[in-house]
Structure 1
Amino acid sequence: MAEHEPLTRDALLGAMSKGAKPKDQWRIGAEHEKFGFDRATLRRPTYEGPNGIRAMLDGLQRFGWTPVEEGGHVIGLERYNDEGFVASVSLEPGGQFELSGAPLKTIHDICSETGQHLLEVKQVADQLNLGFLGLGFDPLWSRADVPVMPKGRYEIMRAYMPKVGSLGLDMMLRTSTVQANLDFDSEADMVQKFRTSLALQPIATALFAASPFTEGKPNGFLTARANVWTDTDADRTGMLNFVFEDGFGFERYADYALDTPMYFAKRDGRYIDVSGQSFRDFQAGKLPALPGEYPSIKDWNDHLTTLFPEVRLKAYLEMRGADSGPWSRICALPALWAGVLYDAPSLAAAWDMVKDWDVEDHERLRRDVTRLGLKAQVAGRSVRDVAVDVVAIARQGLKNRACFSAGMVDERGYLAELEDIADSGVTPADRLLELYHGAWQGDVKRVYADFAY
């Protein structure tokens, strides 16, 4: 039900500030997407059919997942862990299969959860003759080749995207990402973490770059996924220069969200198309699509999920700058950010490294790493050199965290692949291109055999 009176400003800010919690309660959430493919044809699976996405969702229920439905369709799954936290499996617009993990205490827990999920997915997929692939951008299929999932919000977004950018439909249908979600203990802590992680997001983009192919050919990028975000919808994407301005906090982010056009409002289980309309008008009871109605806090929380900057603020901070990849890099991303952001000396060292970068540095870096990866430059340094330092800072942060597995190993091992990438200056995309021009002899289809989970 919608509220009968306007949401107060305190309520809007509270949607974010309520996430503040003391350090001993901080958690880490990991999310990753992956492309399904039919092993016989390599085509992306449709929703319906004997070996479609719906069959995957049905098959996974044998592992204790419960279905989430919309309009008579199963569009996701949920499962609670022993501590009562929920993980979910959901569908991106083109059927990209996403695990949104439960908020967990350590990277050991995250890597275990991710590994269990990939094992369950593989067991079901094997029976359906499907495979799954972790890359940042679909290497083979055109937009027209990608089946669309039956979710109401995606229908609205698909109609709206071409009005505000040329690559929004690619974002929806042909990209996959891995992200990490982290906590803060106060507004000041949120601000420091937001600024530091936003400045460093293009460094992570370079380290994780793994999308050099489009429709079977090299596309000129190391991360086509990151390039897609530069022309999706300027209103709701990018480096949020205001985050680095004096006085930034929950209030300024709420104003940004209020100024960002809406996509939808959900009423009685249905998505109402309000694309391009103003949440401020909604607050005043003057939304053209719902005249006289006022938004609920759920409407506001829904709206916050339609913002897509490189770092997103909800009741936690979401790191959004990385291409999807293999299990090892799904574990490495939260390890990188926990190491940098969850240890005070590491956070201070990381901020010290980026604090003098200006708005032009941030914007140029974001664009340059899409093509140049670790060879890009920022403030007189190579991205490779910055990446070496960032990974070293994260490593020290994880050492200081001292979170041990049952085998008495701490979390630093999860950074090994990133250390190799940074030290060598060779991104995952560079290695894929070496294979394409070498052993694969120009046949991108080999990626499905060599890099499937």
Structure 2
Amino acid sequence: MSDTQSDGSAGGCTAHRTAVTEAEVEALVRGICFKTGPPRTVGVEVEWLVHELREPRLPVSPERLRAAYAALRTVPLRSALTVEPGGQLELSSPPAASLMDCVRTVSADLAAVRAVLRRDGLALVGLGADPWHAPRRFLREPRYDAMEAALDRTGPAGRAMMCTSASVQVCLDAGHEEPGPLGVGRRWWLAHTLGAVLVAAFANSPLLDREPTGWRSTRQLLWMEIGAGRAGAPDLDVEPRGAWARHVLDAPVMCVRRDSGPWDVPEGLTFREWTRSGAPPPTREDLDYHITTLFPPVRPRGHLELRMIDAQPGEDGWIVPLAVTTALFDDPEAAETTYRMVKPLAERALGLPAPHNPLWLDAARQGLTDPELHEAAVGCFTAALEALPRLGATPQVVDAVAAYLDRYVRPGRCPADDLLEQPRDADGRAHGKDIHP
């Protein structure tokens, strides 16, 4: 499920409510959010901005988007196709038995989607944040009305996140119970520490309103600004299941759904408080829905959903972060190397959860110009390159990762640096003409 995917049902809001207690919530979260076992499957969720094919700076009218998306719904796809609040398009792959199965499925689906959009003069653009347009909500549904009202309390970042951001989200099995490089505890820790390296290496959103923001990943900045309760990680010094269960209970409730009319948007009510004093009390469906309104950098959904990577340039740019991340987690040798490479970075977290600690802030702001992040990225990408053939990656995928290592990682660059070096208009603003769908 995407960050803002709609759940149109009210989920048992009135009739036949069966309340859940605080203890039941903790037990449910522990059981449903971490499905352990040897890592076997991989998935990816790729989000895209949708723009005019020939001039991406021009806004696309809601009418054209509706017509294009209606046409797309007639296309047979293996991936789930959803639309985000600002009109961004997302493809979510089914769980795949291997990296290459995932790549082949999503590549075929994207080719079909692009063909339909091209007939309408539209294109998919891989950017972490829209550099041209202000937030404009395309979808009008109770969930998004409530989300907008809740996020507006923390400032404008919430609307920008909803309507102008896009990412590559890599989904991996949680891992098995035994300690070691493929164990759930190690993978949980690694996701939150290596995550900063992935932010820096794939940063691709340095502009808003065609102006540099001072951050190579402005998308990551937007997520940080909506607050730790909504977009922060739990404490890493605690066993993962218990830490996440407490985080879910203590996170603010975004909305209370209704069968009809606007949904309630409580202020300052945690799910724990709702179980103790709510009227009506929360149900299992309310709990499931509450979890979908939490947007940490790593979200456990039975598997681990790594959510920190900006959308990437080019038609196939998404394959590199998918391949690198899969190799570093699922190949035991690469996972052990990666653990050693990123362990020194943990000292910079200063006990603060991601993404609100200095390590993640530096990754989003500085990218690979940060010396320690640069050193870790070179080591991790090198380990991924060695592991990919063992995972059955084709020469084309291995070559794409090698090219990214040479073009960006070794020189201490990321795609954001390309955008920052674009020619400027007469008024000094980036014109965006070099951004090709």
Normalization by structure 2: what TM-score? 0.84
Q: In the alignment, which residue of structure 2 is the partner of 1:129?
A: 121
- Equivalent-residue separation in structure 2 for 1:441 and 1:292 (angstroms): 56
Q: In the alignment, which residue of structure 2 is the partner of 1:212?
A: 206
Given the alignment of the two structures, is residue 21 of structure 1 paired with residue 37 of structure 2, yes or no?
yes
Amino acid at match of 1:29: G
CA contact under 8 A between 1:182 and 1:317: conserved in structure 2?
A: yes
CA contact under 8 A between 1:182 and 1:338: conserved in structure 2?
A: yes
- Equivalent-residue separation in structure 2 for 1:343 and 1:271 (angstroms): 48
Superposed, which structure 2 residues align to 1:224-239 within 5 Å?
224-238=218-232
In the alignment, which of 136, 140, 150 is matched to residue 150 of structure 1? 140
1:452 Cα deviation after fit:
3.5
- Equivalent-residue separation in structure 2 for 1:203 and 1:404 (angstroms): 22
| Cα distance change of structure 1 residues 400 and 281 upon mapping to structure 2, 3 Å threshold | same
Given the alignment of the two structures, is residue 312 of structure 1 paired with residue 299 of structure 2, yes or no?
yes
1:193 Cα deviation after fit:
0.6
- Equivalent-residue separation in structure 2 for 1:315 and 1:95 (angstroms): 28
In the alignment, which of 92, 114, 119 is matched to residue 111 of structure 2? 119
Q: In the alignment, which residue of structure 1 is the partner of 2:255?
A: 264
- Equivalent-residue separation in structure 2 for 1:55 and 1:102 (angstroms): 26
1:395 Cα deviation after fit:
2.2
Query: 3-state DSSP class of the match of 2:18?
Result: coil
Q: In the alignment, which residue of structure 1 is the partner of 2:51?
A: 37
In the alignment, which of 325, 334, 340 is matched to residue 337 of structure 1? 325
- Equivalent-residue separation in structure 1 for 2:390 and 2:57 (angstroms): 45
1:317 Cα deviation after fit:
0.7
In the alignment, which of 325, 328, 353 is matched to residue 341 of structure 2? 353
Q: In the alignment, which residue of structure 1 is the partner of 2:84?
A: 92
| Cα distance change of structure 1 residues 190 and 45 upon mapping to structure 2, 3 Å threshold | farther
Q: In the alignment, which residue of structure 2 is the partner of 1:67?
A: none
CA contact under 8 A between 2:230 and 2:295: conserved in structure 1?
A: yes
1:131 Cα deviation after fit:
2.3
Q: In the alignment, which residue of structure 2 is the partner of 1:84?
A: none
Q: In the alignment, which residue of structure 2 is the partner of 1:60?
A: 72
1:279 Cα deviation after fit:
1.6
Q: In the alignment, which residue of structure 2 is the partner of 1:279?
A: 271
Per-residue deviation, residues 203-248 of structure 1 (Å, max 9, x unmatched):
11111111122212333222211121221122122454x11x1x42
Given the alignment of the two structures, is residue 167 of structure 1 paired with residue 179 of structure 2, yes or no?
no
Q: In the alignment, which residue of structure 1 is the partner of 2:5?
A: none
Per-residue deviation, residues 285-336 of structure 1 (Å, max 9, x unmatched):
x33xxx234311x332222222222212121111111110133321111211
1:255 Cα deviation after fit:
0.5
- Equivalent-residue separation in structure 2 for 1:91 and 1:269 (angstroms): 23
| Cα distance change of structure 1 residues 327 and 132 upon mapping to structure 2, 3 Å threshold | closer
CA contact under 8 A between 2:369 and 2:413: conserved in structure 1?
A: no
| Cα distance change of structure 1 residues 272 and 15 upon mapping to structure 2, 3 Å threshold | farther
1:55 Cα deviation after fit:
1.4
CA contact under 8 A between 1:107 and 1:411: conserved in structure 2?
A: no
1:266 Cα deviation after fit:
4.4
Q: In the alignment, which residue of structure 1 is the partner of 2:398?
A: 412
Aligned length: 406
Amino acid at match of 2:29: L
Unaligned runs of 5+ in 1: 65-78, 82-86
> What is the Cα-based RMSD across aligned positions, in Å?
2.7
In the alignment, which of 215, 218, 225 is matched to residue 221 of structure 1? 215
- Equivalent-residue separation in structure 1 for 2:172 and 2:301 (angstroms): 10
Amino acid at match of 1:211: S
Amino acid at match of 2:435: F
Unaligned runs of 5+ in 2: 1-11
Per-residue deviation, residues 159-203 of structure 1 (Å, max 9, x unmatched):
111213442221112211111010023356222111112111121
| Cα distance change of structure 1 residues 11 and 399 upon mapping to structure 2, 3 Å threshold | same
Query: 3-state DSSP class of the match of 1:148?
Result: coil
